[in-house]
């Protein structure tokens, strides 16, 4: 089942949606008041789901101002060290971090426990049992009926293929604003392959599909709903009476839970540990979360106050590109790095990496030339967003993935298993990354 070669099939509509998933600044998008909770059918059992159809490639989604946080661009952008294409030191090997397990993926719908219509579509990445009798097909991450891209590593599976080696730690991934639950599959698959159960919801009102359809929710509502979604996911996967997560519940260790996210998903991870409030209500920090990993987070003061950040004391890892202009290091990384009381706390700056370094967008750019009759608007839009991470002067994506996955897995293993965190002294001679710990 495992393949070291990339093998993805991307159709035109799929590429258009994924580009939307990578678009814009991942602070809350403005809206005149679209519904946040609608659009998903009720579910009482495990239900495969697909997104609503789009009949033609839409135009590139506009960049929208953030109602709760203005763009945080520094007055000047310091020069960065040119990227290197090869690891500069033999002290430590940073590889793709894929572990000993093959990975299965299942798509479920978690019903709104309050009886409302906020039913969450989630993907679950999980370690597979050894010696399965049936050859499982490659996972196809479906965007529309008949429209998908194919994973180079994971396979489509059901919970009965789950490894009996559990219970496993639970990791919940939160996508960025206008994103999709599987937009960073290279990352979520790598974590699962190391003996973790990884779950990612589509945040209703803040996905690529809704952005393209013009039904995206209000920014303030999205900010409050996001951590509530993650808590709903944790509730469902720890509830022995849940019909949606049957087959997974007994294989999760409730004492080992982490949350990770990119951009607005990074804010979501911080909010899980710090709590959050705005004019629409309050989210109380979820004390079940034992660690967080944030990737290019959105963490400006109007999203997270100094007091909120200072209340965080669980282990934390933040990773960011030095050339990120969507959620620049100042203030989005410097604030939580300086204010949180996390212990231990780690920070990795990837030199010459950008915002889309922490998504799969570069893979789509690679595959588009292999397709025929691709509308220019699709290719042009992908190329526009690929500028934020896939350009010749950016850190090579394979190197960025190796760093991101290796540090994330080492961090999680050090918190939840018997692993050892990466020692900063072992990476001092690698000039394409800056690693700090406290």
Residue 200 placed within a domain: yes
pLDDT tens by residue, 90-130: 445 688 899 999 999 999 999 999 889 999 999 999 999 99
Alpha carbon of 366 to those of 57, 147, 328, 407: distances in Å? 19, 18, 26, 25
Residue 23 placed within a domain: yes
Average pLDDT over every residue of 242-266 = 96
Residue 170 placed within a domain: yes
Average pLDDT over every residue of 59-66 = 36
Average pLDDT over every residue of 153-167 = 96
What is the pLDDT at residue 311? Answer: 98
First to last CA, the chain: 40
DSSP state of 53: P
Residue 87 placed within a domain: no
Residue 286 placed within a domain: yes
- In the chain, the number of structural domains is 1
Domain that residue 57 falls in? 12-79+98-342+352-393+405-417
What is the pLDDT at residue 65? Answer: 34
pLDDT band at 66 (very low <50, low <70, confident <90, very high): very low
**In the predicted structure, residue 257 carries a pLDDT above the cut 90:** yes
In whole angstroms, what is the distance from residue 107 CA to residue 285 CA?
27
**In the predicted structure, residue 231 carries a pLDDT above the cut 80:** yes
**In the predicted structure, residue 331 carries a pLDDT above the cut 50:** yes
What is the pLDDT at residue 212? Answer: 76
Rounded to 5, what percent of the chain is helix, strand, coil? 30, 20, 50
pLDDT tens by residue, 385-433: 889 999 999 999 999 999 999 999 999 999 999 999 898 888 877 899 9
pLDDT band at 356 (very low <50, low <70, confident <90, very high): very high
DSSP state of 189: H
**In the predicted structure, residue 39 carries a pLDDT above the cut 80:** no
By mean pLDDT, which of 119-133, 264-278, 370-384 is the weakest? 370-384
Residue 427 placed within a domain: no
Burial class of residue 245, CB neighbours in 10 A (0-12, 13-18, 19+): buried
pLDDT tens by residue, 274-305: 999 999 999 999 999 999 999 999 999 989 99
Report whether 87 contacts 396 (CB < 8 A): no
**In the predicted structure, residue 309 carries a pLDDT above the cut 50:** yes
pLDDT band at 26 (very low <50, low <70, confident <90, very high): very low
Residue bearing the bigger pLDDT, 289 or 17: 289
Residue 295 placed within a domain: yes
**In the predicted structure, residue 372 carries a pLDDT above the cut 80:** no
| Residues 139, 144, 145, 149, Cα dihedral to 10° | -30
Alpha carbon of 147 to those of 9, 31, 213: distances in Å? 9, 28, 17
pLDDT band at 211 (very low <50, low <70, confident <90, very high): confident
What is the pLDDT at residue 256? Answer: 99
Q: Which CATH number goes with the domain that contains 184?
A: 3.40.50.1820
* For the ranges 31-45, 180-194, 423-437, the one whose mean pLDDT is highest: 180-194
SS (H, E, C) 100-156: CCCEEEEEEEECCCCCCCCCEEEEEEEEECCCCCCCCCEEEEEEECCEEEEEEEEEE
What is the pLDDT at residue 364? Answer: 76
SS (H, E, C) 247-273: CCHHHEEEEEEEEEEECHHHHHHHHHH
What is the pLDDT at residue 51? Answer: 37
The model's pTM is 0.81
Closest CA to 267 of 435, 81, 26, 73: 26
Cis (ω within 30 of 0) for the bond into 87?
A: no
By mean pLDDT, which of 69-73, 148-152, 297-301, 361-365 is the weakest? 69-73
Average pLDDT over every residue of 226-234 = 98
**In the predicted structure, residue 47 carries a pLDDT above the cut 70:** no
**In the predicted structure, residue 20 carries a pLDDT above the cut 60:** no
Mean per-residue pLDDT over the chain, rounded: 81
Residue 308 placed within a domain: yes
Phi first, then psi: what are they for 358, rounded to 5°?
A: -95, 30
What is the pLDDT at residue 375? Answer: 54
Average pLDDT over every residue of 131-153 = 75
With vertex at residue 38, the alpha carbon angle to CA 35 and CA 43, rounded to the nearest 5 degrees, is: 165
In whole angstroms, what is the distance from residue 342 CA to residue 290 CA?
11
């Amino acid at each position: 089942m495992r393949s070291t070669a990339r093998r993805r099939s991307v159709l035109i509509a799929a590429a258009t949606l994924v580009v939307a998933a990578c678009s814009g600044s991942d602070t809350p998008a403005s809206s005149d008041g679209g519904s946040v909770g609608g659009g998903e059918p009720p579910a009482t059992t495990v239900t495969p789901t697909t997104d609503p159809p789009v009949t033609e490639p839409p135009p590139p989604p506009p960049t929208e101002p953030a109602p709760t946080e203005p763009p945080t661009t520094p007055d000047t952008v310091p020069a960065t060290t040119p990227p290197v294409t090869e690891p500069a030191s033999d002290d430590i090997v940073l590889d793709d971090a894929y572990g000993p397990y093959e990975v299965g993926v299942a798509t479920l719908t978690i019903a709104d426990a309050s009886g409302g219509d906020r039913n969450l579509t989630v993907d679950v990445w999980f370690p597979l049992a050894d010696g399965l009798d049936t050859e499982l097909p490659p996972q196809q991450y479906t965007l529309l009926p008949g429209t998908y891209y194919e994973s180079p590593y994971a396979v489509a599976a059901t919970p009965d293929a789950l490894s009996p080696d559990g219970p496993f730690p639970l990791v919940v991934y939160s996508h960025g604003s206008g994103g999709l639950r599987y937009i960073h599959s290279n990352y979520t698959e790598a974590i699962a392959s190391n003996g973790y159960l990884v779950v990612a919801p589509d945040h209703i009102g803040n996905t690529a599909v809704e952005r393209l359809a013009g039904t995206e929710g209000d920014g303030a509502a999205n900010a409050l709903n996001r951590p509530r979604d993650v808590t709903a996911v944790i509730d469902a996967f720890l509830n022995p009476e849940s019909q949606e997560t049957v087959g997974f519940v007994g294989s999760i260790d409730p004492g080992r839970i982490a949350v990770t996210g990119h951009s607005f998903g990074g804010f979501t991870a911080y909010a899980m540990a710090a709590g959050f409030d705005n004019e629409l209500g309050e989210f109380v920090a979820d004390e079940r979360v034992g660690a967080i990993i944030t990737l290019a987070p959105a963490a400006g003061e109007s999203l997270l106050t100094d007091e909120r950040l200072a209340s965080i004391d669980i282990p934390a890892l933040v990773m960011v590109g030095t050339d990120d202009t969507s959620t620049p290091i100042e203030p989005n990384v410097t604030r939580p790095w300086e204010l949180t009381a996390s212990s231990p706390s780690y920070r990795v700056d990837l030199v010459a990496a950008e915002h889309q370094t922490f998504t799969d967008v570069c893979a789509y750019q690679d595959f588009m030339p292999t397709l025929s009759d691709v509308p220019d608007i699709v290719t042009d839009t992908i190329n526009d967003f690929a500028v934020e991470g896939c350009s010749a002067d950016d850190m090579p994506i394979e190197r960025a993935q190796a760093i991101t996955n290796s540090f994330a897995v080492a961090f999680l293993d050090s918190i939840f298993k018997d692993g050892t965190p990466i020692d900063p002294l072992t990476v001092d001679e690698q000039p394409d990354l800056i690693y700090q710990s406290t």
